[in-house]
Each structure stands twice: as structure tokens, then as C-alpha cells.
């Protein structure tokens, strides 16, 4: 009899990580897979049969989903909403196996904010990206026996698992891409100057010394709304020598990255996507970040710059040779699948 796997994810980061397992899971004849996804993640897996998952659900809704599917194991991402956790709460109460795919190097405890059980008594097995992330989670109170270092499945997918065929370099000189994020998500709640304004001031100065015009495209985060502040910044700095615009929503992130010479942002999975396409990628260090995230970004070949206008300008004036990214993410997909199979006693 086939084992039933209930796979659920909501936000983009967790969705990319968890959905990266689907193609591999469906090759296992011993498994029957059901997929629940939220609005921001359904486009990752639109070719599969999906069920709707809202970002916030009640305990009763979670119980209904679990009861209707009767899974042998629950596999979830980790998001800011409560949906995946309510499913884990139900699985915990029903003694159903649970595997969680961690997707980024921060906010570990917040991902279990809506847990009905104490962290130290969790039965979830957590697939974590590397030893540094595991050590940080242990310091946060997570039981070591529940943490399994697997690598990152999405980074495995974009760096190694999927063959990339690059026919030609589509980038345009002095074409910059800024990957925006809501500031509260990255830990900035009070500020005097928006980080984007600092970057625009640097680009305006760069435009005065460059022989060619400079273009900056701003890509909003999927959960980000266009604010008056951002609109005002574009209006203030857009000029003949420095063209500033927001990305067309119909243009994919991959296309935006491919056409850009340099990608700039804070710390997001999209920065790793840029490195997977071997683009020069700069992370603006606007808030303190964990050692594990610094290590992951540097291993992928990113530059991390403090919010100092001179440092940023000096860096942008150099046309550094891109380095091939590290291979530390290889195997993330297979390792996560093996954790699931092990929990089901199928390997």
C-alpha cells in the first residue's frame, strides 16, 4: 500500500524550498502525494494538481485538511502565516510524522510561533541547510535530535539539479537590478533614511562619472505593496543620466536578472538565484545578520557591503570578475527526500 504524503507551503521562500522536492517525490512509486499551496507559491507548481491553502487558517480547517487526506507524513515549509503550523499542530496531536523544510538562515523560533507544543517537545524533523544553521537553532532551544543537515533543496535545484542552458550573456552594461523587500521583514522598523535612497544617491554620483547612462530597475518583493515613499524616490532620482523604474509585473525575475549586470538587495533567496545565473550580486548590510547567513552568501559568491556610500561607490566602480559559486548546496533535494523516506521507514 502506498504511503500518503501531504505537502503544504504558503509563502515564496518556503514554497521554493518545499516545492523543489515534488519532481523527485513523484518518482517514488511507494508514495501518494497531495499538494496544498498558497497564492504566492502556486505559480511554482502550476503544472501539478493543487489544493488551496490560505495563509491563515483555523484549527478546525487544519483538522479538516488532515482528516480528509489521512497522511502518513506531513511535509511543510515555514512561513510567516499560521497555516503550515496549524497543520503541524494537527499532526502532532494525531501522532502523524512531520518533516519541515527550513528555507533561510534567520527567524528560526518565529517559524514555530503558532505551535501548540513547546519547541523542546516537538516531534517535527527539520531539514536544515548547514551545520551553522543547526548550531544556531540548538542555541535557540531546538532539540538537536530533530535537526538534520540536508543542504537547501531549492539552491540544489537552481545551482546543480536542473541543467542550465545559457546560450549567451544577455546582460547590459550599467543595467542594475534592485531586489526590494518590506523593511520590517528584514528587521528595520524605524529609520531616518530609506536604504534605497542611499543606493540611489550612490548611483547618481556614479552616473556623473560613467560614460554611459545608468539604469536601475526595482523589483518589489511578492508580499510588498508599492508605497508612496518608494514612488517618491523614483520620481526624485529618475533623470536623463540615471533611469529609475519599477519592474513590469509580467517580466519574470529570471529575465530581470539575466538582463542585469549587477544585482543589489538585502538578504533574500532571490540573491542566490542571481548567483546561480553567475551574476555579480551585492548584499547591502542594513541590519545585523547571523553568521550562518553571512557564510552562505559569501560561499555563493556574494559581496556584502555596509551602508556606507563611499564603500558602495568604490565597489560599483570596479568591474569585478564573477567567481563560480560554491558547491556546498549540492544534494539538498535527495537528502530531504531521504529524510522523508526514512521517517516512513522506506529506506
Residue 49 confidence (pLDDT):
86
Could you tell me the maximum CA-CA distance found in the chain, to the nearest angstrom? 69
Which of the four pLDDT bands, split at 50, 70 and 90, describes residue 328? low
Instruction: Give the pLDDT confidence of 120-136 residue by residue, as tens digits.
Output: 999 999 999 999 999 99
Residue 324: band (very low, low, confident or very high) from pLDDT cuts 50, 70, 90: low
In the predicted structure, residue 171 carries a pLDDT above the cut 80: no
Kindly tell me if the per-residue pLDDT of 170 is higher than 70. Answer: no
Share of the chain above pLDDT 70, in %: 94
Residue 167: the pLDDT is 42
* Residue 165 banded pLDDT, cuts 50, 70, 90: very low
Range among 52-56, 76-80, 127-131 rated most confident? 127-131
What mean pLDDT value characterizes the chain? 91
**Structural domains in the chain plus CATH codes:** 3-151+331-343 (3.40.50.2000), 172-317 (3.40.50.2000)
CA 287 – CA 17 distance, rounded (Å): 24
pLDDT in tens, 225-268: 899 999 999 999 999 999 999 999 889 999 999 999 999 999 88
Instruction: Please name which of 23, 51, 105, 27 lies closest in space to residue 294, comparing C-alpha atoms.
Output: 105
Q: Is the pLDDT of residue 175 over 90?
A: yes
Q: What pLDDT sits at residue 166?
A: 47
Mean of pLDDT values over 30-44: 89
Amino acid at each position: 500500500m502506498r504511503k500518503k504524503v501531504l505537502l503544504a507551503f504558503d509563502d515564496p521562500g518556503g514554497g521554493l524550498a518545499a516545492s523543489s522536492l515534488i519532481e523527485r517525490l513523484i518518482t517514488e512509486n511507494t508514495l501518494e502525494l497531495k499538494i496544498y499551496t498558497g497564492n504566492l507559491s502556486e505559480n511554482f507548481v502550476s503544472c501539478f494538481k493543487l489544493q488551496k491553502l490560505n495563509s491563515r487558517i483555523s484549527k478546525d480547517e487544519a483538522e479538516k485538511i488532515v482528516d480528509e487526506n489521512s497522511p502518513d507524513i506531513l511535509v511543510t515549509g515555514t512561513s510567516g502565516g499560521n497555516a503550515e503550523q496549524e497543520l503541524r499542530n494537527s499532526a502532532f496531536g494525531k501522532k502523524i510524522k512531520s518533516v519541515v523544510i527550513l528555507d533561510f538562515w534567520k527567524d528560526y523560533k518565529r517559524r514555530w510561533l503558532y505551535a501548540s507544543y513547546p519547541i523542546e517537545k516537538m516531534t517535527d524533523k527539520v531539514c536544515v541547510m548547514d551545520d551553522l544553521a543547526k548550531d544556531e537553532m540548538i542555541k535557540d532551544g531546538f532539540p538537536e535530535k530533530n535537526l538534520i543537515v540536508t543542504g537547501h533543496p531549492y539552491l540544489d535545484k537552481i545551482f546543480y539539479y536542473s541543467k542550465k542552458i545559457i546560450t549567451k550573456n544577455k546582460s547590459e552594461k550599467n543595467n542594475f537590478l534592485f531586489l526590494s523587500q518590506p523593511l520590517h521583514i528584514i528587521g528595520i522598523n524605524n529609520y531616518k533614511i530609506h536604504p534605497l535612497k542611499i543606493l540611489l544617491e550612490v548611483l547618481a554620483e556614479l552616473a556623473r562619472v560613467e560614460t554611459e547612462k545608468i539604469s536601475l530597475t526595482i523589483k518589489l518583493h511578492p508580499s510588498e505593496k508599492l508605497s508612496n515613499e518608494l514612488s517618491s524616490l523614483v520620481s526624485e532620482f529618475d533623470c536623463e543620466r540615471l533611469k529609475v523604474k519599477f519592474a513590469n509585473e509580467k517580466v519574470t525575475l529570471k529575465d530581470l536578472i539575466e538582463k542585469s549586470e549587477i544585482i543589489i538587495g538585502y538578504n533574500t533567496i532571490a540573491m542566490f538565484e542571481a548567483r546561480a545565473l553567475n551574476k555579480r550580486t551585492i548584499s547591502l548590510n542594513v541590519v545585523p545578520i547571523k553568521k550562518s547567513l553571512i557564510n552562505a552568501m559569501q560561499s555563493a559568491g556574494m559581496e556584502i557591503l555596509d551602508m556606507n556610500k563611499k564603500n558602495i561607490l568604490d565597489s560599483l566602480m570596479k568591474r569585478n570578475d564573477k567567481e563560480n559559486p560554491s558547491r556546498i548546496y549540492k544534494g539538498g533535494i535527495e537528502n530531504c527526500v531521504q529524510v522523508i523516506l526514512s521517517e516512513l521507514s522506506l529506506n
